[in-house]
Amino acid sequence: MTRKYETIFIINPELSEEETKALVEKIKGTIEASAQLESIDEWGKRKLAYPIDHFNEGYYVLANFTADSNFPRELERIFRITDGIIKDIIVKREK
């Protein structure tokens, strides 16, 4: 059964522009390989509400996708093991 999901992930602000773009493309490719990517929106660098790993700002990326119910768990695992991602969240969207 497929469902609609939304994820926001925050990238280390100290990465170069090329490293940030490569990381966004990697996550985009991961989503496209197992799900249907609806949209990806790069918000850019923004101030964090509270420090995360001694960072006060981060590079925000929002992605909307449709996937089977087991894919978000795998995507979460990939976020955790990927260097450069300091925070992430995946939520199920209402129809």
Domain ranges of the chain: 2-92
Mean of per-residue pLDDT scores for the chain: 95
Q: Which residue has tokens 């991961």?
A: 30
Is the pLDDT reported for residue 15 higher than 70? Answer: yes
Please tell me the predicted confidence (pLDDT) of residue 95. Answer: 67
Topology of the domain comprising 2-92: Alpha-Beta Plaits (3.30.70)
In angstroms, the CA 29 to CA 34 distance is 9
Please tell me the predicted confidence (pLDDT) of residue 8. Answer: 97
Contact 62, 88 (CB under 8 A): no
Is the pLDDT reported for residue 56 higher than 70? Answer: yes
